[in-house]
Structure 1
Amino acid sequence: MSTTPTVLLVHGAFADAGSWSGVIAELQNHGIPVVAPANPLRGLASDAAYIASVASQIEGPVVLVGHSYGGALITVAGTTENVVGLVYVAAYVLEEGESLGELQGRFPLSPLVSNLKEWTYPVEGAEPAVEVSIKAEAFPEIFAADVPAPVTKVLAAAQRPLAASAFEETAAAAAWRTKPSWALVATADQAINPEVERFGAKRAGATVVEVEGASHAVAVSQPKAVADLIRDAVRATA
């Protein structure tokens, strides 16, 4: 059996698994097995449990990769036994007991916060819950400023909302305390303050790469840079 870890890519809010397409192609070209499931985006605990379930059903070692909110999920799901490494891509790196809102609140807010649109969705046996997406007119500048305009229009139309409650849920674990980690900081990120990315990565003791001028959608705009960091993690944990 191959000892090459399988890379499990976890997309964040306002995106879908297709946002990893360029990264997947790069990894597959180097013979690295990849899985990119759909992230439910319904809450930190339930989403992390889903990702942990996917990881545990993969034979052999797994490197978890999280973009944006997906970083919070791999922080919790990474405690799964066969997970051997964590890669954060323009992501939140939470401490145990910390929420997205708490981590963000330590730094100046990004333009994302004032450009969210609220929707509701049905919850069985309860009142409708709130979810948020990025206002279409603000999406290009905030999420994907370095992506061609025609592509950005598609990304904006296809974005998947995040349950608003996810910002207040706290992480049940911090897998980076026992697993090696890597992090990519997108220096021109307008969705997450790059200082939030740097702080979390440093606290986790991650190996950090900064991509100058990269937007939050760095996996779309610079898939090779993202894939190269993931390959470093795969090589180190194989």
Structure 2
Amino acid sequence: MKRSRVLTLLIAFLAVLVAAASPAAASHPNKPKPTIVLVHGAWADGSSWTDITRRLQGDGYTVRVPPNPLRSLSSDSATIRNFISTLSGPIILVGHSYGGAVITNAATGNPNVKGLVYVDAFAPAAGEAIFPLAGADSALAVDPTTVFDFVPYPGAPAGDIDLYLKHDTFVTSFASGVPRREAELLYPSQRPLTLSAGNELSGTPAYDTIRSWYVLGTRDLIITPTAQLIMAQRAHSTITRVKAGHLSLITEPGAITKVIEQAARAN
């Protein structure tokens, strides 16, 4: 009898330890992992998320990386909005650079989006365009002819053009912190943003109703750290600082993945 009582007490004690070690699992035993949707920005493509995608998949997350057309803020947001409308279950929507402006608009009104994660990203308020939000000291806040190559595109509205980053701006400012050889490989495949997309006014921001996280690159030369902080604080985001340039998703994939998974576990 005495041995039976000791065994019962030991089992009860172990049960308490297990519950304490995994409170999230105990509270939400059947809670599905959210789908992580990664949205790239201008002068990049979905491959910029490769290392982060690999890490997230390794941790058991379903990851989707839809192409961002980079044609106009309204149509790009509609593209991502339509894409996520086909997904079931909870979603964490992540945007880098211009992709931040896209998710700010695309997530509005979608109850499945449980969190927004901004990575060195624009987080505009209603009525704001992205180019002025880059900051007074941004490498882009100069004579545009010195940083962009202007390229016409078929069907462009009057006065609109594609903007490609000039070589020096790309490798020294956009890709600052990326090993030079890798930056040189990224430069030829950059995807352009239209001039009109950079000047189109944003709509009602999703961060007004959806919890957000912000990864702030303290060495970013494209969207200055000061400008990022203003946007992150205004969005009431949980802020994580990384010592990285604008492409922290390439140079610091572990830190970015950690923040994305924090957002995923919080919902």
TM-score, normalised by the number of residues in structure 2: 0.84
CA distance in 1, matches of 2:223, 2:86: 31
Which amino acid is 1:20 matched to? Answer: W
Q: 2:77 aligns with which of 36, 41, 48?
A: 48
User: SS where residue 176 of structure 1 aligns?
Assistant: helix
2:139 is aligned to 111
User: SS where residue 203 of structure 2 aligns?
Assistant: coil
Check 1:32–1:143 CA distance in 2 against 1; reply closer, same or farther (3 A cut): same
Which amino acid is 1:108 matched to? Answer: A
- Deviates further, 9-18 or 134-143: 134-143
CA distance in 2, matches of 1:116, 1:207: 33
Q: Which has the higher strand share?
A: 1
Which amino acid is 1:160 matched to? Answer: R
Contact 1:140 1:149 in 2 (8 A): yes
Which amino acid is 1:117 matched to? Answer: D
Contact 2:133 2:223 in 1 (8 A): no
Is 1:88 the equivalent of 2:118?
yes
Give 4+ residue runs of structure 1 displaced > 4 Å after superposition: none
The gaps in structure 1 that reach 5 residues or longer are none
> Whose RCO is larger (CA < 8 A, sep 6+)?
1
Check 1:151–1:210 CA distance in 2 against 1; reply closer, same or farther (3 A cut): same
1:98 is aligned to 128
Displacement of 1:83 in angstroms is 1.0
CA distance in 2, matches of 1:191, 1:21: 21
Q: Percent identity?
A: 39
Displacement of 1:2 in angstroms is 6.2
Displacement of 1:109 in angstroms is 3.6
Q: 1:209 aligns with which of 230, 235, 240?
A: 240
Displacement of 1:81 in angstroms is 2.6
2:180 is aligned to 149
CA distance in 2, matches of 1:77, 1:38: 14
CA distance in 1, matches of 2:169, 2:235: 32
Q: 1:229 aligns with which of 259, 263, 266?
A: 259
Which amino acid is 1:170 matched to? Answer: L
Q: How does 1:109-188 map to 2 (within 5 A)?
A: 109-114=137-142, 115-123=147-155, 127=158, 129-188=160-219
Contact 1:56 1:81 in 2 (8 A): no
Equivalenced residues, count: 233
Contact 2:91 2:114 in 1 (8 A): yes
1:220 is aligned to 250
Which amino acid is 1:61 matched to? Answer: P
2:87 is aligned to 58
> Rg bigger for which structure?
2
User: SS where residue 220 of structure 2 aligns?
Assistant: coil
User: SS where residue 72 of structure 1 aligns?
Assistant: helix
